[in-house]
Chain A
Amino acid sequence: MKTNIIRIGSALAAVLVAAPALAQDLTFWSWRQEDRAAYEQFIETFEAANPGITVNFETFEATNYNTILSTALAGGTGPDVMMVRAYGGLENVASAGYLEPLSTETIPALADFSEASLAAESMRSDDTIYAVPFASQTQLVIYNKALFDANGIAEPQSWEELEAASQTLLDAGIIPFANGTATAWQNETVTFGLGSSLMGKDFYDELMAGTADFTDERFTSALGEIAELAATYFPDGFIGLDYASAQQLFGSGMAGMFVGGSYELATFRSMNPDIELGVFAAPGAAAEDEKLVGLYFDGGYAANAAGANKEAALTFLNYLAGQEFGQAFADTLSNISTVPGVTFQDPLLAEVNELKQSSIPYLMLAHFRYGEPSGSVLIQSEMQKLFAGETTPEAIGEALTTGLAAWYEPFKN
C-alpha cells in the first residue's frame, strides 16, 4: 500500500515536472470579441484531439486589430496563430515577412478550397498563400419577412419591382430601407450590395481585362439608380444616420429592408430573436438580368513565421482548415465557412450560400485596396457626395478612374 502511494506520488511528480516540457502553448489572436465563447468551444475540441497542445484565445478591438497585431509582430511579441484580414489588409502584415507561407504540403486541405478564397489570402507579388480563409461574406438585401408578407410583397425580380415594393412599404408607414450613410464604409456596402446586378458581370470582366474603367456607362448609371432609390426610400436624413442606428431601425422592425453583408444576419437575430429574416440579391434593371451578389472573403488564420511552436501552430491550422471545424464554425457562428463541403442547417445560410454561386467580387476590397488612394476611400466619400447632391455619377466615374490611376496600372495612360 505504502509503496503504491510512493509509486503513484513519484509518477505524478514526474508528470508534473515533464508536463511543461511536453505541453506546447499557443497564443491565438482574433478581432472577434463577440465569438469568444464559440472559439473556446472549438479550441476545447482541438485540445481534446491533440493532447499536449494548449491554445490561449485572446481578442482585441476590431478596428484597431491590424495596428495592434502589426505592432506586436514588429516587436517580436506576436501570437503563434492569428486571424488576419484579406486582400490589402493581409499584404500589410504578410509583406513584412511576419507570416509563415502555407502550401498544400503543410495544409493538405487547402487543395480543395475555392480559388477566389485562396487568392484573398495570398500576396500578389509571390502568389503564396499566407492564411487559411475562414469565411466569405455576401453583400445583398436582407428583409423582414413578416413585413413583406403583411404587405403582400414578394422578393423583387427587377429594379422596378424593388421600387414598387419600397413604395408599398412606405405607403404602409414602414421605412423601406434602414440604411444610413454617415458611417463612411456603409456607402461602399450600399453601393455594391444594391448595384452589383445593375453593373453586371460583363462590366466586371471588362474592368479586370483593362478594356473598361469606372467612367463606363454601366457603372455610372448604376450609381445614379442607387442614389435615386436612396433619396426616396432610405430614412429621412439618412446621410446623417450612422451604422449602429441603421441596424437598430431594421432590428427593431421599423424598416423593411437592409442592404448589408451576410454578417448582419447574426447581429439582427441577436438584436431581435423573433425577427424573421429573408435575403435576396438586389435585382438588375430587367427581370431576366442575372442577379449578382457582391462576394468577398473576410480573413484567414495565419501562423507566425517567427513563432516558437511552429509545428503545433501548423497542427492547429490543419484543424482550422478541416471539415469538422468548418461545420462547427458554420453551425455555431452562423457564418458562411469557406471550408469546402460544409452544409448549412440554417435555411437562411443555405440560401446565402446558394445566392453566392452567382456573384461578382466586392469590387473595391478585392481589387482596389492596394495603393493610395484606395478605391474604397474614393467610392465612400464620392457616394457621400452623391447622396448629399454634391456630385454626379459621371463625375464619380471620372474621380475614381483618375484617382486610382495614381497606382493602378491599367488606368495609367
Chain B
Amino acid sequence: MPQLRMTGRGLWITVLIVPPLAFVALFIVYPIFSAFAYAFFDWQGLRRGDFIGMENFHAVLFVEPYRSWTLNAFKNNVVVFFALMVLQNGLGFLLAYALWRELPGARFHRIAVFLPVVLSTIIVAYLFKLFLHPLFGVVNISLRGLGLGELAQPWLGQSNTALWSLIVAQAWHMVGFPTLVFLAGMQRIPGEILDAVRMETESEWVKITKIVWPLVAPSATIVFTLLFVGAFNWFELPYIMAGLDGSPFGSTDVLGLYFYRTAFGNVSSGQQNFGLGSALAVLIFIFIALVATVITVRLRAREIQL
C-alpha cells in the first residue's frame, strides 16, 4: 500500500511541476540563452552571419561611437538609481514612518500615497509631459502665476533639467511601493520593543535610527534590490516622455532605450543590429544579476531575526 501511495504522490508532483517548469524553460531560459548566442554572431539586419566571438562585446564597450553611447547611458542609469534611492526609497521610508505613527489623516494618506502606483506608466508619463509643457504646462503656468516667471523653463528640452524631470515623475509614480513595503515591515515590530524604547527616550530620531531602521532591514533589502533592477531596466517612462533617442541629445538616454535602438533601430536612424543589441542585453543582464546578488547578500547580512 505505501508503495502505491508513493507512486501516486510522485505522479502528482510530476504533474504539478512539469508544466510550470516547461513554461519557464520555454519562455525564460530559452530566450536568455538565445540572446547569449545571438551576441556572438555578425548580423546584417536580421540575417545571421558568421560567428565572430567577442567582437560585438568589444564594439559596444570600446569602439566609437558605441563606447560613448554606452558610457553615457550607463552614467544616466547610475544617476537615476541614486536619485531614486533618495527620492523614492528615502521618501518612501519617511512616508511609511508617518503613516505608521498614525498622524492625522493616515487612513486617507495610506490610499493616496499608493494610488499612483496603480496607474499605468503610460498615463503617468503623459500626465507629466502635459504638466511640463513649456507653454501650457501647469508647472510653468503656476510659476508665472506666482510671479516666478523666470523659473519657468522648457523642462524636457534642456540637458540639465530633462533627466531630473523624468526622475521626479518616476518617484511620484512609484513612491507608494517602498512606502507600503516599509510600512508592512514597521507593523511587524513587536510592541514590547517599542514599549521598552519609550522607557528610555522620547526622541523620534533615536527611535528611527536605533530601532525602526535596523528592524525594517528585510524591507530595505527588498526595495533596494528591486529599485536597482528597476533603475537599470528603466524604459517606459523615458520612452514616452523623451523618445527613443533620449532627447535632448542623449541627456535622458538610458541603457534600456539604447539597447532597443541598437537592436531594433528607430525610424530616424534606420539601423538594426541584433548582434550589438544582444551583446548589450547580455552585458546589462550580467551587470544587474551580479550587483543585485551582491546587494542582496550584503543587505541580508545586516538583517536581524526577531
Contacts and interface: CB of A to CB of B under 8 A. Distances in A.
A44 to B, nearest CB: 30
B280 interface: no
A93 B271 CA distance: 10
Most buried by A among B44, B65, B66, B269: B269
Contacts of B159: 388, 390
B158 interface: yes
B270 A95 contact: no
A372 B65 contact: yes
A96 B44 contact: yes
Interface stretch (B1-9, B89-97, B243-251): B243-251
Contacts of A85: 270
Interface in A185-235: 185, 188, 235
A183 interface: yes
A384 B246 CA distance: 12
B249 A381 contact: yes
Interface string A226-261: 000000000111111110010001000000000000
Interface stretch (A69-77, A277-285, A321-329, A346-354): A69-77
Contact of A406 (B64, B133, B140, B155): B64
B157 A239 contact: yes
Given A92-B271, A183-B243, A184-B268, A406 B65 contact: yes
B270 A87 contact: yes
Contacts of B250: 381
A95 B132 contact: no
Contact of B135 (A89, A96, A235, A373): A235
B154 A70 contact: no
Contacts of A183: 243, 247
A241 B249 contact: no
Interface in A320-379: 369, 371-374, 376-377
B45 interface: yes
Contact of B268 (A91, A188, A236): A188
Contacts of A181: 157, 248
B266 interface: yes
A36 interface: no
A182 interface: yes
A52 interface: no
B278 to A, nearest CB: 14
A322 B88 CA distance: 60
Nearest to A377: B269
A343 B283 CA distance: 55
B264 interface: yes
A182 B157 contact: yes
Contacts of B247: 182-184, 384
B153 interface: yes
A108 interface: no
B46 interface: yes
Contacts of B266: 63
B116 interface: no
B271 A96 contact: no
A237 B249 contact: no
How would you classify the secondary structure of chain A's contact residues: helix, strand, loop or mixed?
helix
Given A96-B46, A381-B248, A384-B248, A245 B267 contact: no
Interface string B293-306: 00000000000000
A238 B156 CA distance: 10
Nearest to B132: A240
B46 A88 contact: no
A70 B46 contact: yes
Interface in B135-170: 135, 140, 152-159
A89 B264 CA distance: 11
B81 to A, nearest CB: 24
Contacts of A237: 134-135, 140, 152-154, 157
Nearest to B261: A377
A269 to B, nearest CB: 23
Interface string A369-413: 101111011001110110010100000000000010010000000
A74 B272 CA distance: 13
A139 interface: no
A62 interface: yes
B45 A96 contact: yes
A236 B134 contact: yes
Interface in B83-130: 129
A66 interface: yes
B108 to A, nearest CB: 35
Contacts of B129: 242
Contact of A182 (B64, B153, B154): B154
Contacts of A92: 45-46, 265, 270-272
A97 interface: yes
Given A245-B133, A381-B249, A381-B250, A73 B46 contact: yes
A299 to B, nearest CB: 11
A106 interface: no
B47 A67 contact: no
Nearest to B276: A372
Contacts of A236: 134-135
B243 to A, nearest CB: 6
B45 A70 contact: yes
Contact of A380 (B134, B268, B272): B268
Most buried by A among B132, B152, B245, B248: B248
A99 B267 CA distance: 20
Nearest to B154: A240
B264 A66 contact: yes
Interface in B171-199: none
Contacts of B269: 88, 369, 372, 374, 376-377
Contact of B47 (A95, A188, A382, A384): A95
30 contacts: A63-B244, A70-B45, A73-B46, A88-B270, A89-B267, A89-B270, A97-B47, A180-B157, A181-B248, A182-B247, A184-B247, A237-B140, A239-B154, A239-B248, A240-B132, A240-B134, A240-B155, A241-B157, A369-B269, A369-B271, A371-B271, A372-B269, A377-B268, A377-B269, A381-B245, A384-B248, A385-B249, A388-B157, A390-B249, A406-B64
Given A63-B267, A184-B248, A385-B249, 19 more contacts: A62-B267, A64-B264, A66-B267, A88-B269, A89-B267, A92-B272, A97-B47, A235-B135, A237-B154, A238-B134, A238-B154, A238-B157, A240-B134, A241-B154, A242-B129, A249-B135, A374-B271, A381-B249, A384-B248
> What 3 pairs between A and B have smallest CB-CB spacing?
A240-B154, A237-B134, A240-B157
